Structure 1
Amino acid sequence: MAQRHSLAIPYRAPVLAISFLACVATGLELTVNNHAADFPLSAKPGHSVSLSCLVHNSSQAEQLLWYRGNGQVGLEDGNKVNISNICIYPVNESDNGVTFTCKLARDKSMQVSVILDVEFPPQLSGEETLHTEEEKDVTLTCNSKSNPQAQTTWYKDNNKLILQRGHHELYQTSEVFQLSIRKIQKSDNGTYTCMAESSLGRGTKDFHLIVEEKKPVFPKEAVIAAIVVVTVTVFFGIVARKDKLFKVW
């Protein structure tokens, strides 16, 4: 009997290579004055504000950067690694709303910001004396700065101004308080006072409005016509005298 032989074909199962990405959570953190997130900080003019930026959970030296708004703050060499301190002194009104930010130098997305909230009483300014003619329009502009925002009122000759529709108009923003007077009259002459008041105090600013009589206005066409008439009259007068002189001669 013939023997049957089978040929064995070797079989290799595919090997799947699986690689894993290691994700190591370092827990690195920044804080400013013990705050890990952005925060406001109250301050008063003339006082100082100290800000301390600290790196947490880092096994290496981390360089820090400070910014005032978009401008980088200069730091001394011993005040840049793992901990960095800055001092704002003296604080003034212009620092209100300014942002100070501490950033990690190698990863600027890691940052903490401080927004200064500088409180101060009303400060007023504006053009003190205004001259105008009758029947013209005039606007008194009172520039007002305060934090918190102040309530503003207009006075005339030490009495609260009674607004007349069509004659007085008010316009106000957070820093400007305007009084417009339409078709000025002699009775509008006087001292106007802008008064701003907040929980921190009161500020006043006087505006002296001087109303002058309306100057007569001559029509341009009439003036030109008069000049032409005078010129022609003088010209013909000269010509007539010249003819007379020649006849006598």
Structure 2
Amino acid sequence: MFITFQLLEPPLNISINPENQNGQIAVVEGSNIALECSVNDGKPSVTLYWTTGENIVYQRNKTEKIKYTLTASRQFHKRYFTCIANNTFYQIKRTTQIHLYLKPLVKIYAIPKLIEEGRKLVLVCENQTNVKPTDVTWFYDDSILLGLSTFQVTFPNVSRNKAGKYTCRVTNIAGIGTKDFHLIVNYKPYVTDGIQEYVFDAELYEPTYISISILSSPRPDVAWSQTAHGKLGSWNCQLKDNESYIISSNIVPEINSHVGEYGIVVRNYLGSLNIIVKLESSTVKITPLFAHCNMSSHLHLECQISESKLVQQLHANWIHEINGTTLRILSGQQSGNTSVLTIKYCDYREMGDYVCKWKSVTREYSNTARVTVFGHPIIAIKEVVPNNETSIQLVVQFLSVPNPTEVRWFLDDSIISKTDTRFKREIHASLIQQEIHSKKVILPGFKTYLVAALHFRNTGLTFSCQIRNMFGTRYVSFEGDLFKDVHETFEDNEHHNEEGLDVLDAMNNSPIQHHTSNEEVNSSESRNSDGNYEEIENEIYHDAEWRNSETESSSSEATQHNDYENTDICNDYEDLDETKVEVHSYEI
């Protein structure tokens, strides 16, 4: 019998590299560190470990050398790492500390925190680092501020034009640290164009719409301060962008003495602004005041100012806007006291208000025309959304001026009738977001949807929606898996089918009405035939206001209007009797 003995030997001479004479590994923050530990092996062979705290971060068996690489982030500053050599019978270890040369950690704050125009302001830049010296550079809106090399910037009398982005950049041998500070200076309200007296054209018993641009920080309150005793509307203060607001209201003069001077006070906690509004009779006239054009036709708007005002060297501009959102600033052809704006090709993008402004250095005169464009329906949104656990909604949102006469849904080439219990259909008036001239505006439109069971997703069938008005028809298709492929086509309104949603009768009772002149409608009136329309269950039309217009049969101007604004009132309409379908025409 033989007995084998193994001689046990401890590991010796454990060392860490790179390590300085202070027992530290010193590197710049953000660099890579290779922690290398070596040992003279023992018997049996050792296992090498790297640990920090109670955690083993790396290990290798039967080796005399181990390397662990990490990125020297700020969390490792002054962190201890230990290398352990263990062969079960003997264990030795060596500990080292990570020391980082820290990049500047920058912070900016303002004294005082609430920054008001006309007050002293100090911007302070602080930094945390263990490496000196440091250099500081200031930037304003990404441009260097020359001559500023201290950690404080002082404004003895800060003004609103000092608002913007300030950047403090601190540099040392370890690297660069930066921090941005967005300076907002509060100030009392003021008008953007420097004018404090505005003149508006007025007619008795008609609302005169007041709209003025102001700048203010914070948001101001607006109130009437002086009156000539006309009927006064409430004030609306709408944020346009940043610190720019549109304040708007209206005045209705009922007797000649009401056509006079009115006062407005615009106030925030820092101060107030007084504005004078003068109503003058027939200073600016626009012809036509309420204009209509069919798609692809042209339109001329003529703006004339009283010749007595021309001594002020006035210049005319046209502002195209919807709901106070400026879409374009246009130049008409000006001759003397008349400016003519020509719309060469009408489509839905030309709809809205056209403000004719005659302006001098100190005064401004204006009047507003409204343009309604009649054309085929415009698809705004088409989507498939969940309805519940067992069904989905196929949704189409669209604009239609004039109102739609018919909406119907198809499964492949078959019309989905009201008796088909597999589906539910509905249409109602709705606010629609539409992009016009690169600006998103909210307009009154319509929403129709079809509720279908989930199992229709994978059948390969195509669902489509047809929307018709007196100018044409739009088709929207939902096809393929999950109805993801959406296509749209357009055709002229040549035929009527018999299984559509009869929206024409219901919309005659809806407040969204668009009247046309005889001249404009005649070109399309022959298309509005009296086909049979299927009744629809539970049709709901939500109230939405529109500036309706009515004129004499020989005139293309209108005499009354409402705002573009939807209300919260809802009207319910009963099913329509197929035997009582009428032929409807749009006329003034």
TM-score using structure 2 length: 0.28
Instruction: Tell whether 2:107 aligns with 1:40.
Output: no
2:124 and 2:228 mapped to 1: Cα distance? Answer: 50
**Displacement after TM superposition at 1:205 (Å):** 0.9
Match of 1:153 in 2: 223
1:54 and 1:169 mapped to 2: Cα distance? Answer: 49
- How do 1:1-249 residues align onto structure 2 when only pairs under 5 Å count? 4-6=1-3, 12-18=44-50, 20=81, 22-24=97-99, 30=106, 32=108, 40-45=113-118, 49-55=121-127, 57-68=129-140, 70-76=141-147, 79-80=148-149, 83-88=150-155, 91-95=158-162, 98-105=164-171, 106-108=175-177, 111=179, 113=181, 115-118=183-186, 120-124=187-191, 125=195, 128-133=198-203, 137-147=207-217, 149-155=219-225, 157=227, 163=232, 168=233, 170-173=235-238, 175-181=245-251, 187=256, 188-212=258-282
Q: Whose helix proportion is higher, 1 or 2?
A: 1
2:204 and 2:277 mapped to 1: Cα distance? Answer: 18
1:134 and 1:23 mapped to 2: Cα distance? Answer: 84
Report the CA distance shift for 1:67/1:92 in structure 2 as closer, same or farther (over 3 A): same
Percent of aligned pairs with the same residue? 13
Matched position secondary structure for 1:40: coil
Tell me, yes or no, if the aligned pair for 1:53 and 1:85 is still in contact at 8 Å.
Answer: yes
Instruction: State which structure, 1 or 2, has the greater radius of gyration over its C-alpha atoms.
Output: 1
Query: Which ranges in structure 1 are unaligned for 5 or more consecutive residues?
Result: 224-249
Aligned length: 202
Alpha-carbon displacement from aligned partner over 1:152-200 (angstroms, at most 9, x marks no partner): 21245466x754xxxx353213633211357x75555222221123444
Alpha-carbon displacement from aligned partner over 1:32-53 (angstroms, at most 9, x marks no partner): 5xx5x998353433x5534343
Tell me, yes or no, if the aligned pair for 1:121 and 1:147 is still in contact at 8 Å.
Answer: yes
Q: Which amino acid in the other structure matches residue 167 of structure 2?
A: T
Tell me, yes or no, if the aligned pair for 1:142 and 1:205 is still in contact at 8 Å.
Answer: no
RMSD (CA atoms) = 4.5
Query: Which ranges in structure 2 are unaligned for 5 or more consecutive residues?
Result: 8-42, 51-67, 69-80, 82-95, 240-244, 289-516, 520-552, 555-588
Match of 1:235 in 2: none
Matched position secondary structure for 1:173: strand
Report the CA distance shift for 1:148/1:74 in structure 2 as closer, same or farther (over 3 A): closer
Tell me, yes or no, if the aligned pair for 2:197 and 2:275 is still in contact at 8 Å.
Answer: no
More relative contact order in 1 or in 2 (CA 8 Å, sep 6+)? Answer: 1
Matched position secondary structure for 1:60: coil
Select between 203-212 and 122-131 the one with higher mean Cα deviation: 122-131
Tell me, yes or no, if the aligned pair for 2:201 and 2:282 is still in contact at 8 Å.
Answer: yes
Q: Which amino acid in the other structure matches residue 159 of structure 2?
A: N
Match of 1:239 in 2: none
1:101 and 1:215 mapped to 2: Cα distance? Answer: 51
Report the CA distance shift for 1:7/1:100 in structure 2 as closer, same or farther (over 3 A): same
1:85 and 1:113 mapped to 2: Cα distance? Answer: 13
Alpha-carbon displacement from aligned partner over 1:105-162 (angstroms, at most 9, x marks no partner): 5444x536363443x3332456711225557653212334444544321245466x75
Alpha-carbon displacement from aligned partner over 1:1-37 (angstroms, at most 9, x marks no partner): xxx44455676243224263844477865455xx5x9
1:117 and 1:156 mapped to 2: Cα distance? Answer: 30
**Displacement after TM superposition at 1:206 (Å):** 0.9
Tell me, yes or no, if the aligned pair for 1:156 and 1:192 is still in contact at 8 Å.
Answer: yes
Q: Whose strand proportion is higher, 1 or 2?
A: 2
